[in-house]
Structure 1
């Protein structure tokens, strides 16, 4: 019943698979002809998101072929911003874009890196680490009793697998990813168990379907893996999913959305509500990377509800210190020192190993996003389902859990 507390390791925003990239499927043959089909392996094509994942056998050798092109210019027609060309893969992507743009009056095919997420984009995807100081022991009696609501609603979660023996009062659906740990677990491996518990607290009658896309002791995945897991969740699950919570994210060097995540979000049905953690980088200094206002993906995508934490301020609320105060954060809810289900056994907290008894206290936007997903599930029984419930909240309908956020104009 210890608290996971704070993990000071900031999400990496530069990680990406060093020799993989993705291309819009209709233009794969053109890209292969440019690069030389013998130097590129087509790993996987996905009809649902319209992209193909490619592997360069020798990324350095292919990058060297574009040296002359890159020396001429790194700026696309009609743009003032130079393309990134620091790593060999970035040099290849810049060379492909510039070559096509030169031949076709500025046009080039959609292509990009296969980023990593911790719940984020870049190379591997990592988890949005918990925020806040350790809270000490947490009595089991502090675990909130689930609120009624959410009957007939299914909430999908893209996260780490959940604890092998947990059922959330029978609401965890078959096919959910289970965590099998035979040794001391890593802190981040309990992330999915915690967030699913928060959803269940807000909507005790809603069903939960967990896709453990953030795998291993470091809980990472590539953007491609997250995109395919999202597609599977909203199109292939036996039980229709109405709400998807993504307590994960990534940053990009140019603050532009990752191609793979954007493509996956675009294909989601209009009646499915996507929520994502807004990020824990609100305390960053002006010269720190990422900056305190850097967009986190997929939260900053237009088709996603970005959720931040909140604290009391006068008679209302304001963003919690870890929450970035940005225009793309849409909703605030409780994400500070919340109590939920966790791992049962020994857990590594970086330099120490502590015993947990299935309950913990944690803070961060991952937690806020899960709370918001559960609350929407509880409200989804009204007109318009989950989408209608969200529209009413955004329109100003009073609610004791969710509050709308509008960032001040920069000045």
Structure 2
């Protein structure tokens, strides 16, 4: 059964995609969300095989209708993916889609013969997933230094490392933060609602850009608003949007990506397969967030780092808690997560530099850690009541004012810290190849942390200030 937080986020993402009926998967769990009534297949012969096989499978005995099976969208040359409708998207509810599940079962034998996957759900790729990133932003006073603080160094247009952030867009007042003077990109769409209150996730990309700039001053930062719509996008669209992001300015040295999804598999996302293959041929390094499900289930695209052909192409990043000694409670983990970086209660640029802006919390905190940890974590503190959590109740959601900086937690923010450290290494060692810089940085690293009993590499900026954690009981 999906936890309350996941249902709250499901409702929010569904409202941002009113024309796309969504379901939870698999089977009313909180692993992922996907489009009802639709599956994905590669263009051409494989799409035909999927259609024919599903039609044959959908007989009266299954209770499913073969007439529903048809192309649901135009074939695309760049991503090589076709949407195929296999059922009525209006049937069923959020707990799952029998037609999609039946289509996946129908193709198992054909996939065995082909030796590779032929069909996939159309997953929702999101910056949220089930932990909102790790928490919601908390105002930080302008008198408090960012954390990590700005590293020494200057921007040099001739040697600056190109970093592309694929996320939400830039807030209107981002240039009021001096570290972002050399940042360009897309504007955040509709920062506030009709009452002038900040919408959830809108400052995500600006916060990330501030972290990269603080850790690596000699960077040319570009922020693309690929995830402006509540931080979510369908897998069928995501691959095309990734191509658009790199086509705009060319392939950068480093891509920082703080979004993804699990899919219950160990072979990646069908919708981004073409992009990942082209990425492999480029010199770009993809630094990707491991996700905030507190789970060992692979989270894509970050988990491509565990596939041999992408070992040097993708770096997956988990989050350390505030003291840097252990993994944050919300961070995904497992052998597919290659490094960890500070990701709990970081301080960076947000919005409100020009004029204070109100924000109303969406999710209530919990009495105890959702993941069973015994330190005072972002599940519990700082305390607030959220509007999505208290529907039908008398409790009033908490409202705060942002005046520039924010504290925020998530693997979303550990990721740009790691990307910044690689960029900084490139500058310091005059290394032009980000993949070589990644290998050098990890080989020279001497910092480690404990995550679920395993000792893992920890990438920690010199300017990051660890904070003590409050332990409620013995253990971590």
Alignment TM-score, normalising by the size of structure 2: 0.65
Aligned partner of 2:258 in structure 1 is 247
- Partner Cα distance (1:141, 1:108) in 2: 52
More strand as a share of residues: 1
Q: Is 1:260 aligned with 2:271?
A: yes
Cα displacement (A) at 1:330: 1.0
- Partner Cα distance (2:221, 2:290) in 1: 22
Aligned partner of 2:290 in structure 1 is 278
Q: Is 1:202 aligned with 2:205?
A: no
Q: Is 1:19 aligned with 2:31?
A: no
Aligned partner of 2:206 in structure 1 is 193
1 or 2 for the larger relative contact order (CA 8 Å, sep ≥6)? 1
Q: Which moved more, 1:356-365 or 1:150-159?
A: 150-159
Q: Is 1:49 aligned with 2:79?
A: yes
Task: Deviation per CA, 1:92-121: give whole Å up to 9, x if none.
Answer: 2322444x36xx9465762211101223xx
- Partner Cα distance (1:127, 1:358) in 2: 27
CA root-mean-square deviation? 3.5
Cα displacement (A) at 1:392: 0.3
Cα displacement (A) at 1:146: 5.3
- Partner Cα distance (1:355, 1:305) in 2: 35
The answer to whether the 8 A contact 2:260-2:301 is kept is: yes
- Partner Cα distance (1:406, 1:206) in 2: 34
| Structure 2 residues without counterparts, runs of 5 or longer | 10-29, 56-65, 363-396, 456-476
Aligned partner of 1:75 in structure 2 is none
Aligned partner of 1:285 in structure 2 is none
Aligned partner of 1:377 in structure 2 is 423
Aligned partner of 1:184 in structure 2 is 197
Q: 1:389 aligns with which of 430, 437, 462?
A: 437
Cα displacement (A) at 1:297: 1.8
Aligned partner of 2:339 in structure 1 is 331
| Structure 1 residues without counterparts, runs of 5 or longer | 1-7, 64-84, 120-124, 283-291
The answer to whether the 8 A contact 1:128-1:365 is kept is: no
Aligned partner of 2:18 in structure 1 is none
Count residues in correspondence: 356
Residue pairs, 1:2-401, within 5 angstroms: 9-10=5-6, 12-26=30-44, 27-34=46-53, 35=55, 39-56=69-86, 58=88, 87-98=98-109, 100=110, 105=113, 110-119=118-127, 126=129, 129-131=132-134, 137-143=140-146, 144-145=149-150, 147-148=152-153, 151-167=159-175, 168-173=179-184, 175-182=185-192, 183-216=196-229, 218-234=230-246, 236-253=247-264, 257-268=268-279, 269-282=281-294, 292-302=295-305, 303=310, 304-311=314-321, 317-344=325-352, 345-350=357-362, 351-381=397-427, 382-397=430-445
Aligned partner of 1:69 in structure 2 is none
Alignment TM-score, normalising by the size of structure 1: 0.74
Change (3 A) 1:239 1:152: farther
The answer to whether the 8 A contact 2:153-2:218 is kept is: yes
- Partner Cα distance (1:147, 1:357) in 2: 25
- Partner Cα distance (1:228, 1:86) in 2: 25
Aligned partner of 2:461 in structure 1 is none
- Partner Cα distance (2:143, 2:74) in 1: 46
- Partner Cα distance (2:161, 2:278) in 1: 21
Change (3 A) 1:187 1:343: farther
